[in-house]
Amino acid sequence: MKILLVYAQPESKSLTHHLAREAEIYLQKQGHTIIHSDLYSMEWKAVMDETDYMDRQFHERLSFIQESSHAYSTNTQTADVEREQKKLKEADALILIFPLWWYGMPAIMKGWIDRVWAYGLAYGYKNAGNSYRYGDGAFLGKRALLAVNIGGPESEYSPRGINGNLEDLMFPITHGTLFYTGMEVLPTFAIYNSVGIDKPDLEIATSRWQLRLENLFKEQPILFRKQNGGDYPDRHVLSDDILLGKSGLSVHIKG
């Protein structure tokens, strides 16, 4: 299997880089092929703008959807975007590794998604609007996993913790970015109290990480409801007969 590691942390001695190195070593021992995208060392351009479209279809106004669709369908995307899309297409699994900064991923990683998730590939698949999303799409069959380093204690990211439940915080990524494209998304791996982590705790965290990697293709994914699975009759809103009276992010997960 081919596994794409995408990670974002400028410090090479950081916990983020430690997890990336450990993932490469452990997964290679299992016989997997590792592909890297170290966004800071690549000096990845995080901002999507007019320079991303070398052959504009419309010049009076920049429409990112229209120009992304045109660039992808006519093979006129920038070389860096094409390289990353090629990695994604070849990969059987995607692992995003990052520190939690202001309840989300670093801007450079968000910029990687903004630019690489092109219209016709990650959304607007088969030029069919919203027909292939949330459980369908170009990345159907691939697995995805987030590995997040968090400075605070686990209790603050529990269901009643002051920062909010971690899986709720990650929902825009796990559901709205990864599952949207058809990927099977695994529960988030997190290391808490990561600032100044000592050697014994690092060894424990590394062992937990290796166990998750061992089960990368065996573990049960988050059971997000599929758009085309019957739970959304109009492909927009959850059916009235499912979890009547309840709302919020959790209603889009079975079980």
In angstroms, how far is CA 249 from the centroid of its own chain?
A: 17
Q: Same structural domain for residues 193 and 155? A: yes
Q: Same structural domain for residues 240 and 218? A: no
- Longest Cα separation, the chain: 59
Q: Same structural domain for residues 135 and 244? A: no
Q: Same structural domain for residues 229 and 111? A: no
Q: Which amino acid is at 117?
A: W
Q: pLDDT at position 255, please?
A: 79
Q: Same structural domain for residues 247 and 195? A: no
Model-wide pTM > 0.85: yes
Distance between CA atoms of 39 and 228, rounded to whole angstroms?
Answer: 34
DSSP-derived secondary structure letter, 174: I
- Per-residue pLDDT for the chain (255 aa), expressed as one digit of tens each? 999 999 999 999 999 999 999 999 999 999 999 999 999 999 999 999 999 999 999 999 999 999 999 999 999 999 999 999 999 999 999 999 999 999 999 999 999 999 999 999 999 999 999 999 999 999 999 999 999 999 999 999 999 999 999 999 999 999 999 999 999 999 999 999 999 899 999 999 999 999 999 999 999 999 999 999 999 999 999 999 999 989 999 999 997
Q: Same structural domain for residues 110 and 44? A: yes
Q: Same structural domain for residues 159 and 245? A: no
Q: pLDDT at position 30, please?
A: 95
Range of the domain at 243: 225-255
With residues binned 3-state (H G I as helix, E B as strand, rest as coil), the percentages for the chain, rounded to 5, are: 35, 15, 45
Residue 32 CB neighbours (<10 A): 18
Q: Same structural domain for residues 232 and 213? A: no
Q: Same structural domain for residues 217 and 232? A: no
Q: Same structural domain for residues 126 and 214? A: yes
CATH number at residue 195: 3.40.50.360
127 contacts 70 by C-beta, under 8 angstroms: no
Q: Same structural domain for residues 201 and 231? A: no
What's the total number of domains in the chain?
2
Q: Same structural domain for residues 124 and 243? A: no
